[in-house]
Amino acid sequence: MAEESRLTIRISPEKRDALKDKAKAEGKNTTEILTEFIDQYLGLRQHSNPIEQRVTRLELIVEEKLGELVA
């Protein structure tokens, strides 16, 4: 088994709970979800189709812009 390390992030309790709930609904855990996201971000894993890639990118942009508005 490959060596692994722990990553700590700070998010609101509401986001953490929503992430856990959605992951559970998909039959996954938060580590699986975040690892998939990191792999996609790093280009190690691609979405299954171009439309899904575009939607995910747009979601990230919207989240960034909403974060800027709140800050």
Identify whether 6 is part of a domain: no
State the Cα–Cα distance between residues 20 and 28, nearest whole angstrom.
9
Structural domain span for residue 30: 13-70
Number of folded domains that form the chain: 1
CB 13 within 8 A of CB 19: no
Strands (E) across 1-71 are located at: none
Identify whether 63 is part of a domain: yes
In tens, the pLDDT along 13-62 reads 999 999 999 999 988 899 999 998 898 889 887 666 778 778 888 888 88
Higher pLDDT, 3 or 71: 3
The residue among 39, 36, 31 whose CA lies nearest residue 9 is 31
pLDDT of residue 69: 77
Identify whether 1 is part of a domain: no
pLDDT of residue 44: 85
Only one residue has tokens 């580590």, namely 31
Q: Can you say whether the dihedral through the CA atoms of 21, 27, 48, 5 is positive or negative?
A: positive
Identify whether 18 is part of a domain: yes
